Amino acid sequence: MQSGPREIVTPFRQIPLEVPEGMKPNEFFNSTENLNDLVHNNGLLQNPEGLLLYRKALGHSNEFDTSIIYNTSQSILDPLGRPVRRTQVPEGVKHVWNRMNEILYEYMLEQYPDPERHLVLAGEASLDATWPLTSPGVPSIRMLHNHFIVFDKAQLRDAPIADASNPNLTDGGQHSLFQAYMRDVYRAFFDELDLEILRPCVPGSCKIAITGYPQGLPSWEVTGGAESLKEVRFWKEYDTILKGFIDFYRTFFGQVSTRNAPMARDIHFPDLVENKLLFNNDLLKTAKMVRDRCIKDAKYANSIRWQPAFKQLIYRNDAGKLIVTISQNSIGNAITELLGVVVKRVPDADAYGQAEPALIDRLLAVRRRLVAADLGSPIATAQWGTD
């Protein structure tokens, strides 16, 4: 079997939504009007914390695919003012969200216990608040949300190899920048974080054999497996990885923007940043290289994302171990593409209709678990009730 990124076809039923004249689709998708439609047509469960579980109408997989969004569409009308990463979520909301994550992941592993047959993943997607809403690659819903997805590995094996130059797979150049010039600095910085449950992976041991991904990203094995997801400590370490990434990214691009810039405000690990980054010649040489190019190359400068954006996920590798990884400022890639899965969505109501009953049954089953755990109230739609 040839290893390489795969492009699969996922049918969907077209959404009967009319985008107002003069609006871009992803501008409309961020509106309160669209979020209301999401609740009423695809909503599964919601709770007082503002977390909404919903069926992905434009999904990645018709095997299992659902999301939780922190729905601030009515409480924060400015799309640029909404939380876009876990570190911006109130502690009470994050506590409930972590419990929902654990139950959903436990359900997926129960339903799909064989790592040779199914790829199981979950994770958050974030974008930086300085990126224009109409730019390519900006998520269609500009609010913090995560994904729970299962792929049939037989479908992946049978799928054609994806174009390796696809910008969604190359991570917009940021991945190669980190890998080529700051690989050792980046990994040494993460090695200083206080982690007990998360253990750095041996290089190459975390890849999915079918796709050969993830490529070059720092990854950690979840010692204790799924049971560790029930521990508060795990979720604190999951946040620590994110905080470390944000500190590294802000520090590096702060130096790109302004030579010898002071440490950014609200850094999570100031001593680590001072000792391991602001006094590191490799990082500062790379910052100078990028800064010099920005000054001379307008197109390159316009492509820079000055604030952190990322995909952070938990997935099951071929050996059945749970792995945490985080991207390096993804510009266009969907969360699946960190694992080498490119999804080509095609409108095909008949094909989607064949998969829909089993998909809905699974979503309603996991919803019952969430309701029983006092994590929300069920939503009735035209497709399902509250049972």
- In tens, the pLDDT along 223-267 reads 999 999 999 999 999 999 999 999 999 999 999 999 999 999 999
Q: Band the pLDDT of 358: cuts 50, 70, 90.
A: very high
pLDDT of residue 332: 54
Token output for 205: 């041991």
pLDDT of residue 385: 96
Percent of the chain with pLDDT over 90: 66
Decide: helix, strand or coil at residue 106: helix
Cβ neighbourhood burial of 184 (10 Å; 0-12, 13-18, 19+) = exposed
Encode pLDDT of 156-201 as tens digits: 999 999 987 776 675 655 567 887 888 899 999 999 999 999 999 9
**pTM (predicted TM-score):** 0.93
Distance CA 376, CA 180 (A): 46
Judge contact between 199 and 220, C-beta under 8 A: yes
Q: Band the pLDDT of 23: cuts 50, 70, 90.
A: confident
Q: Does residue 203 surpass a pLDDT of 90?
A: no
Q: Band the pLDDT of 301: cuts 50, 70, 90.
A: confident
Question: Domain residues of the chain, as ranges?
Answer: 6-378
Q: Band the pLDDT of 305: cuts 50, 70, 90.
A: confident
Decide: helix, strand or coil at residue 207: coil
106 vs 202, residue with greater confidence: 106
Q: Please provide the distance, in angstroms rounded to a whole number, between the alpha carbons at the two ends of the chain.
A: 44
Q: What is the mean pLDDT of the chain?
A: 89
Q: Band the pLDDT of 80: cuts 50, 70, 90.
A: confident
Token output for 210: 């079918």
Distance CA 58, CA 48 (A): 26
CB under 8 Å to 367, separation ≥6 — which residues?
44, 45, 53, 378
Q: Does residue 141 surpass a pLDDT of 70?
A: no
> Do strands 43-46 and 51-55 pair parallel, antiparallel, or not at all (unpaired)?
antiparallel
Judge contact between 335 and 147, C-beta under 8 A: yes
pLDDT of residue 130: 53
Q: Band the pLDDT of 144: cuts 50, 70, 90.
A: confident
pLDDT of residue 205: 85
